[in-house]
């Protein structure tokens, strides 16, 4: 192997590392928020509806701007859009850290969504252009997808996803994209179905196998479906293709939080509401009890005797019952989506149309760094 080839290989690996770290940062942000939700309830007195907005503000803005900023990266240069995204995302993170009301935290999360919308299409489009060969691209996307694993708050999902995403690339070569993606979605549906039977008395040990199934399913489905999209597009449209992929995931996540969160809230209120119906409870206290599990437990702790115990038990039962309902809906939707995949997804990615961009030709700059890598990483204007 010549010196130029070694330099090119190291340059590409460094590029992949930067892109993976960026994905890790954006996924860790969601994880940190999920872990902090109980503290947000206590310190900012956020209701369940406000918590949904705090979570969804990021996803909605992210999804809404992905296509626009992905196309902008293709037009003016992915490097510049990527760096601007880092600045905006960092600014939003700083604002979120010092937010003292739910409204300000929601606004800060929206700013972070703008930054993430600039970052994510660029990471995948730069990766696709850096690793142009089909097998190299598939392996790189598998590693990139697996990087999301450590950003998942639930350890079994994170551990299995980290291993399954890169491994799915080799499985696809044997049986094709369709069966791997559909099989992964079936595992997600099974895991959600197991979690739908959770009760108040169950411990974490019962949930571990279900979380592991979900992690394995996501790992199997994510990388091949992403490669199916990116492998069917010309390289000059990689930003739009990446944005399309990211938009579908973010919209799905936002809709999932909204629909499943609504189902949880309805079941929770139906459970604790009857305890308040025949009692003279101030509207502010009733709103606090019905607004969130944290609020109901805080009120129950201040009610002496059996009344407080009944409210606490009803709140915990209503919350778990709502979660069970949400997982039931999720299992049905994912199972239906797996059937759609079996019916419509090609077994192999369709080759992109010829784009006349001299694929495979690599020029060397005087420094020894391939011109192809630097040019495509920066984008047309970078």
pLDDT average, residue stretch 225-244:
79
**Relative orientation angle of helices 371-378 and 102-130, to the nearest 10 degrees:** 150
Quote the tokens at residue 232: 């069917």
The pLDDT of residue 373 is 40
pLDDT per position as a tens digit, 44-95: 888 777 888 888 888 788 878 888 898 898 888 888 999 999 999 999 999 9
pLDDT per position as a tens digit, 284-305: 888 888 888 888 888 888 888 8
pLDDT average, residue stretch 247-268:
83
Quote the tokens at residue 46: 């956020």
pLDDT average, residue stretch 140-169:
71
pLDDT average, residue stretch 320-338:
94
The pLDDT of residue 230 is 81
User: Percentages helix, strand, coil for the chain, rounded to the nearest 5?
Assistant: 80, 0, 20
The most distant pair of C-alpha atoms in the chain lies apart, rounded to whole Å, by: 83
379: CB partners within 8 A, 6+ apart? 73, 74, 76, 77, 78, 79, 80, 81, 122, 125, 126, 239
The answer, yes or no, to whether residue 33 has pLDDT greater than 70, is yes
Instruction: Choose among 167, 172, 173: nearest CA to 142.
Output: 167
pLDDT average, residue stretch 135-149:
80
- Of 155 and 278, the structure prediction assigns the larger pLDDT to 278
Q: What value does the mean pLDDT of the chain take? A: 81
The answer, yes or no, to whether residue 100 has pLDDT greater than 70, is yes
pLDDT per position as a tens digit, 339-371: 999 999 887 756 555 544 443 333 333 333 343
The pLDDT of residue 159 is 66
The answer, yes or no, to whether residue 118 has pLDDT greater than 50, is yes
The pLDDT of residue 200 is 86
pLDDT average, residue stretch 129-142:
83
pTM of the complete model = 0.73
C-alpha to C-alpha distance for 137 and 28, rounded to whole angstroms: 24
The pLDDT of residue 338 is 95
Q: How confident is the model at residue 254 (pLDDT cuts 50, 70, 90)?
A: confident
Looking at domain 3-378, its CATH superfamily turns out to be: MFS general substrate transporter like domains (1.20.1250.20)
Quote the tokens at residue 20: 């993976």
Q: Is 159 within 8 Å of 284 (Cβ atoms)?
A: no
The pLDDT of residue 351 is 58
The pLDDT of residue 352 is 56
C-alpha to C-alpha distance for 200 and 382, rounded to whole angstroms: 55
C-alpha to C-alpha distance for 41 and 97, rounded to whole angstroms: 15
Cβ neighbours around 199 below 10 Å, total: 10
DSSP single-letter state for residue 233: S
DSSP string, 124-191: HHHHHHHS-SHHHHHHHHHHHHHTTGGG-SSHHHHHHHHHHHHHHHHHHHHH-HHHHHHHHHHHHHHH
The pLDDT of residue 75 is 87
The answer, yes or no, to whether residue 154 has pLDDT greater than 80, is no
C-alpha to C-alpha distance for 306 and 295, rounded to whole angstroms: 18
177, with CB counted inside 10 A (0-12, 13-18, 19+), is buried
The answer, yes or no, to whether residue 176 has pLDDT greater than 80, is yes
Phi, psi (degrees; rounded to nearest 5) at 65: -105, -5
Question: Cα dist. 234→77, 88, 229, 353, 358 in Å?
Answer: 16, 29, 11, 6, 12
Q: Is 148 within 8 Å of 23 (Cβ atoms)?
A: yes
Q: How confident is the model at residue 6 (pLDDT cuts 50, 70, 90)?
A: low
The pLDDT of residue 158 is 66
350, with CB counted inside 10 A (0-12, 13-18, 19+), is exposed
Question: Cα dist. 320→29, 93, 197, 263, 315 in Å?
Answer: 25, 31, 10, 12, 9
The answer, yes or no, to whether residue 191 has pLDDT greater than 90, is yes
The separation between the first and the last C-alpha atoms of the chain, rounded to the nearest angstrom, is 29
pLDDT average, residue stretch 193-198:
92
């Amino acid at each position: 192997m010549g010196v130029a080839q070694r330099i090119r290989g190291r340059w590409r690996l460094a590029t992949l590392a930067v892109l993976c770290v960026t994905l890790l940062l954006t996924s860790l942000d969601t994880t940190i928020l999920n872990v902090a939700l109980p503290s947000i309830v206590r310190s900012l007195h956020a209701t369940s509806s406000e918590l949904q907005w705090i979570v969804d503000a990021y996803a909605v803005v992210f999804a809404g701007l992905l296509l626009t900023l992905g196309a902008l990266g293709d037009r003016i240069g992915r490097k510049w859009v990527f760096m601007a995204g880092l600045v905006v995302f960092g600014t939003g993170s700083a604002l979120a850290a010092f937010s003292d009301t739910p409204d300000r935290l929601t606004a800060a999360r929206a700013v972070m969504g703008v930054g993430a919308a600039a970052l994510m299409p660029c990471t995948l489009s730069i990766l696709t252009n850096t690793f142009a060969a089909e097998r190299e691209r598939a392996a790189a996307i598998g590693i990139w997808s697996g990087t999301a694993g450590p950003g998942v708050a639930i350890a079994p999902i994170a551990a299995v996803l980290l291993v399954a995403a890169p491994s799915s690339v080799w499985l696809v070569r044997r049986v094709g994209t369709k069966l791997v993606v559909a099989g992964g979605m079936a595992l997600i549906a099974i895991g959600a179905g197991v979690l739908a039977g959770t009760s108040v008395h169950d411990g974490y040990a019962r949930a571990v196998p279900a979380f592991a199934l979900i992690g394995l399913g996501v790992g199997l489905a994510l990388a091949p479906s992403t490669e199916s999209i990116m492998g069917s597009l010309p390289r000059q449209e990689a930003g739009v293709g990446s944005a399309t992929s990211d938009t579908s995931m973010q919209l799905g996540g936002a809709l999932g939080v909204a629909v499943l969160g609504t189902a949880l809230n309805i079941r929770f209120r139906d459970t604790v509401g009857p305890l308040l119906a025949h009692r003279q409870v101030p509207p502010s206290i009733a709103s606090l009890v019905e607004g969130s599990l944290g609020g109901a437990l805080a009120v129950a702790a201040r009610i002496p005797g059996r009344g407080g115990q009944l409210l606490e038990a009803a709140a915990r039962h209503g919350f778990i019952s709502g979660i069970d309902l949400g997982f039931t809906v999720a299992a049905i939707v994912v199972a239906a989506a797996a059937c759609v995949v079996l019916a419509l997804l090609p077994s192999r990615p369709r080759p992109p149309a010829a784009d006349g961009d001299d694929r495979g030709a690599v020029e060397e700059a005087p420094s020894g760094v391939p011109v192809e890598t630097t040019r495509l990483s920066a984008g047309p204007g970078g």
